[in-house]
Amino acid sequence: MISQLANLNWVSVSLAFVVYFLLGALWFTLLFTKQYKISLGRENETLQNNAPIFIVGPALCSLVITIVSAVLIYALNIRHLADALEFAIVIGIGYLFANTVNIAINPNIPRPILYGIITGTYHLLGIVIVSIILITMK
């Protein structure tokens, strides 16, 4: 599968990554700020999320998810939009959403289900968009 790296359309990978990363920025700082703070038990606080790790970390994770998704799409020879959507739903729910909820279920997150829904839904929508971009530009 790693050999697929040479076959990737890196323009589509780059575009998909940027869209996924920007979706996250909008998701957590504009669209669902209040709900996200509530899930963390910090609804009356200003989140201290402007340190480089809170920008670079999610960017790197989004990039890895995008590249791995592209490798899988190419290795599985996914060519049609319907198949890309099916891929995104399976990966999105089976790995991204489920893993997000699993990470949230710990004593440090006071509302783990809410956190899992907010963050997991972001990743699910993100992987759908990534898959659409990758397959459309394949």
Condensed to tens digits (0 to 9), the pLDDT of residues 31-41 reads 999 999 999 99
What pLDDT sits at residue 51?
Answer: 87
Mean pLDDT of 62-67: 98
**For a pLDDT cut of 70, what percent of the chain falls above it?**
100
pTM, to two decimals: 0.92
β strands within the chain, DSSP E: none
* Residue 77 in tokens: 């020879």
Average pLDDT, the chain: 95
What pLDDT sits at residue 50?
Answer: 79
Ramachandran angles phi, psi of 67, nearest 5°: -65, -45
Listed range (50-54, 64-68, 75-79, 124-128) with the worst mean pLDDT: 50-54
Whether the predicted pLDDT of 134 surpasses 90: yes
Residue whose token pair is 């996924």: 20
Whether the predicted pLDDT of 88 surpasses 90: yes
